[in-house]
Amino acid sequence: MVKFSFLAVVLTAFLASNVNGENYTVQVGVDDTLAFAPDRFDANVGDNIVFHWVSAKAKHTVIESDREATCNKSTKPLAFASVAYTGNPEAPPKAVWKLDTAGPLYYFCNIGTHCTAANMYAMINVLEVGQTPQVPGFTKLPEPKSTSTSASPSKKTKAAGADESSSANDGKRVSFAVVCGALISLAVNLI
């Protein structure tokens, strides 16, 4: 019974920490340039970075690096590395990088001299879950204009690069964890 209860707690914590991450889009080769857009932003552990290859003129890669502004692949055993794609603005190839560790993440394009001569590298500052990311590379949506005199708080704006379908605040994460915990407790009591 104790083993099952411990397993239930671990499962609940795992589920709560792995749901409802944001999806942020990074354009690779934006406007047919040797650039990532945005090239610097914050995200949280659990978020996904969705790379879209949009340049139809050149192949690009996304390769994880250990330091900023370096053009060497990371020495991490499971370092992120995409294949080389030529983009298509209408239906861009995509690759997804799931952020699982807090701290800075660096990446670059290793095609030809894209990194060394054109400085095609970028950085994501990965924050712990619950910290508020600053996303300077994305355009913030304006606050909705209201003619109401309601005293209810206004809705937070989202970064334009954040996928609305995956948006969830910490309250939803806690609610999900509570529901899962309650269901698991109920199952334990029935056994």
Cα distances (angstroms) measured from residue 48 to each of 56, 62, 71: 24, 14, 23
Which residue shows structure tokens 């606050």?
Answer: 143
Position 129 pLDDT exceeds 50: yes
Residue 89, pLDDT score: 83
Q: With pLDDT > 70 as the criterion, what percentage of the chain qualifies?
A: 60
pLDDT-derived band of residue 79, with 50, 70 and 90 as boundaries?
A: very high
- 32 DSSP assignment: G
pLDDT-derived band of residue 138, with 50, 70 and 90 as boundaries?
A: low
